[in-house]
Amino acid sequence: MLVVHGISLPPGAFGGGEIEALFTNSLDWDADPYFGEIRGLQVSAHLLVRRDGEVVQFVPFNERAWHAGESRFHGRARCNDFSIGIELEGEDETPYTDAQYECLVAIVAAIEQAYPDISNRNIVGHSDIAPGRKTDPGPAFDWLRLYDGLS
C-alpha cells in the first residue's frame, strides 16, 4: 500500500532543510524549541515531495522505511513492513500545492505500474492507519484531486 503523509518542520514552516535532516538522522535538536519535543526521533520515508514539486528519495521502494509507526491496515499491523511512505511538505490545514499534486499523481502511477499489488484501493493517509494518533495529511489534502489525476 501507499501511505500519504504531511510534514513540516518546525510545524508550519516550509522550505528549509529540517525534514531532510530528520530523515537522515542529522537534525540539530537545539535549532528550534519544537525539536526538543521530538528529540531522538528516528523516522524515515521513501519519498518527500516539497512544496515546489521537488522529489527527494530517502529509502529505496523495496526496503522498509520507518514512516507509519504503530499502525494497522485491513487487520494487518506494522504497516512499515508492507507499505511505501510518501511525505508531502505541508500541514493538515494548509492546502497542498499544484506542483505537489502533479508530482504525486506521477509518482503513484509509476509505483502502481512497478508494483501491481498496489492500486488506488490501497492508497491511504497516515490518519487512516493510525487513527487517534495521527491526523495527516489532514483535511487540506484533496483526495478527489489525487484520484481524478489517476483516472
Q: Which three cell numbers stand for residue 44?
A: 524515515
pLDDT in tens, 53-65: 999 999 999 999 9
The number of domains in the chain is 1
Burial of 75 (0-12, 13-18, 19+ CB in 10 A): exposed
Domain CATH code at residue 135: 3.40.80.10
pLDDT value for 16:
96
CA angle at 115 for the pair 111 and 118, rounded to the nearest 5°: 80
Give the residue from 103, 98, 71 showing the smallest Cα distance to 87.
Answer: 103
Backbone angles phi, psi at 49, to 5 degrees: -110, 110
Cα(102)–Cα(108) distance, integer angstroms: 10
If you average pLDDT over residues 98-114, what whole number do you get? 97
pLDDT in tens, 125-134: 999 999 999 9
If you average pLDDT over residues 29-57, what whole number do you get? 97
Catalytic, 20? Answer: no
- Which residue is catalytic, options 18, 20, 37, 87? 87
pLDDT value for 9:
97
pLDDT at 151 over 90: no
pTM of the model: 0.96
> Which position has the grid cell 507509519?
68
Name the residue type at position 140. Answer: A
> Average pLDDT, whole number, for the chain?
97
Q: Which domain holds residue 116?
A: 2-150
pLDDT value for 44:
96
pLDDT at 123 over 90: yes
